[in-house]
Structure 1
Amino acid sequence: MTPLLSLSLRSIANRRLSALLTVVAVALSVSLLLGVERVRNDARDGFAQTVSGTDLIVGPRGGAVQLLLYSVFHIGHASNNVSWQSMQRVAALPQVKWLVPLSLGDSHRGMRVVGTTADFFRHYRHGEDRALAFAHGRPFAPAPEGLFEAVVGAEVAMRFGYSVGQRIVLSHGSLGGDGGPRFADHADKPFPIVGVLARSGTPVDRAVLVGLEGIEAIHVDWHGGAPIPGLTIGPEHVRKFDLSPKSVTAALVGLDSRIAVFRVQRQINTMDEEPLTAILPGATLQELWSLVGVAERALLAVSALVVVVGLAGLVAVVVASLGERRRELAILRALGASPPQVFVLLALESVLMSLAGIVLGLGLLYGAGALAAPGLAAGWGLELGLGWPSAGEWRLLVAVMAASLLASLVPAWRAYRYSLADGLTIRI
């Protein structure tokens, strides 16, 4: 160990309380900066994997982001539906492995109702290719056995206290809810809950899933978006009707090989029978994130300012201690220490405290991450990574270290300018 390093460590130990507080301040700012960066990256990755394993999303002709919003996030409305014949033509393409239709437009107490097929539970993936899991119950059965069966998402079940066996009533329209605009209820055709999904952190948590035939069944005695006056067809008679879907809102499509995704996309977009739009969900999710990701960049900037404040506190503590250390520095000069050596001594002390703060900050980050990861995964579907720092995080650490080195020059320069006579002079 060099004499300057040994002297720096002994000087820090002599002022252990102020040094400890400074190290903790730097550690908290570093852990906040890295925590925001890690959550930002994990949130972006999770957002991009809201729907995974789906190669294409098909809907009516329109914008890619709009199609993604209403089909995956259940935000907004489709300009029009897609005929069932067009969905069958897409499903019949040689490269298409599976197709899961989605029918939107109804709601339950402000939550979206999604009409689909039992294949939805087999093919819908999120995150790292994770399938939907059931906390209780099972998927709804195909019609006619499961004509009026429903599966509710985790947030729906938690908010309204639902459990398997309860019966719910769907409402016509997608804006109704407690305290909001009311739409006509399909009260004559209730749906028993047969399954409650485990929390996934996706929009499925806020959805009620029923069969496509169930959506058709509740509208048998409706026409033009309103009930037919004087006509009521009960659930015991509705099974006699043809409940094949006439149209759907969109569809999730999986291919035999992802190599063919652009070719199939072009085939769907150029179909002559009906104008359709096929989008790549991953690319569109990244486009959407670029629109809504301003907040996370602002949060990163705020955390960087916190680091600056922490380093400013470090400089303030070291500079404030110089007044008490003038005699100490003068003795060092009298013993033969040159002004550059005094400069290096003070700079080394600041750098060592910064380095200790960075190491402690990393420890706080991993400790807090280990404690918070299960709750974030269960409550928000955010998979918080606890691996080795990424390249971006290493760059931030290098930037913090460089900033601390620059900050250390301030007290070092002040000490450099103290002369031997100034240190030994008795001030009255």
Structure 2
Amino acid sequence: MSDDTPSYGFDTLQIHAGARPDPATGARQTPIYQSTAYVFRDADHAAALFNLQEVGYIYSRLTNPTVAVLQERIATLEGGVGAVCCSSGHAAQIMALFPLMQPGCNVVVSTRLYGGTVTQFSQTIKRFGWSAKFVDFDDLDAVKAAIDDDTRAVFGEAIANPGGYIMDVRAIADIADAAGIPLIIDNTTATPYLCRPIEHGATLVVHSTTKYMTGNGTVTGGCVVDSGKFDWMASDKFPSLSQPEPAYHGLKFAETFGPLAFTFHGIAVGLRDLGMTMNPQGAHYTLMGIETLSLRMERHVENAEKIAKWLEADDRVDFVTYAGLESSPYYSRIKDVCPKGAGALFTFAVKGGYEACIKLVDSLEIFSHVANLGDTRSLIIHSASTTHRQLTPEQQEAAGAAPNVVRVSIGTEDADDLIADLDQALAKATA
């Protein structure tokens, strides 16, 4: 597409951004470039690529033409200047933190996060010498108080997994800006169709492209989108970006690449050394999925609203956390943060507690019992016994994954069929 692609609408960009007919064959669909390495024109060309003096393809751990199209498409949809795709959503989180953190540094994170993220931040990153401070992001004073001289980022989810709680991205972004540190937003559950965190002040956006971006449960993948708006040279907190890089003869990423500093570092250092590479076939599946993202999200939201209202009115259900319900404390945030809808992920509490939840999950016929979300198929899981089982009871409660709660990811099937399936399963679970 031409240089003025941002003037196009979302539905056009989700199909065309980053993609051009293949110059060799004229193929209209982006080819799968299943190649490990790429031939250099000559020795000078090779040297220029390795010195970061020229952009091109060297080795598929770093760059691949199919993956490059996906990176440009996601960056365009999110309103960023660049993106780096990688092997999974968890890989994207480490890739986002890697240029920012040093041993002894910390990240302030929301208590309302996917259970695997809580574990990654509370346990695994300690092995890098990093630490995380968990804070209720609805308590803005607590967020401010948690930031100290060693804090290098703030991290939260636009629509939190599992409860579907909507974060006040702008309020948290203002706190991060005042502290001179970046805000990282996991936008997996919302997608750029429902929420564009960069427009609300986020510095970086991460995705598990495994979920709604691909939309069909076929491949894993992750992505880090760079807003290009953060001044990495404003302080000495981010030496990986502002100070000379020994591996590139003293090159300073922020000085050399300006708004694209984080993106280039993610490829030239992050993928080079961490090796969390997305494979080209996975990128191809995700590109095809994104072509229908807006259509799918509209149906996901429509179904979720109908089913959440039905559940809320059912006597066998204690409560429903869907932010699209007027009873939700997060309902007022929808028009500002997610104007096209509150997503399709939420939880509900079953009367009868833990055992009733297990019976419910085992009795469903259309809903699939899987550890995933964002599929065209409707999915369910009992988080306390699966995705969040490694957490303490207090952490489960804070994350919205108490023992009496199940998480649903509403798909694009007929909503009445889904309601009938829930009805018969609830009857068995609460008999």
Query: Scaled by the length of structure 2, what TM-score is found?
Result: 0.21
| Higher Cα Rg, which structure | 1
With CA pairs under 8 Å and 6+ residues apart, which has the higher RCO, 1 or 2?
A: 1
TM-score by length of 1: 0.21
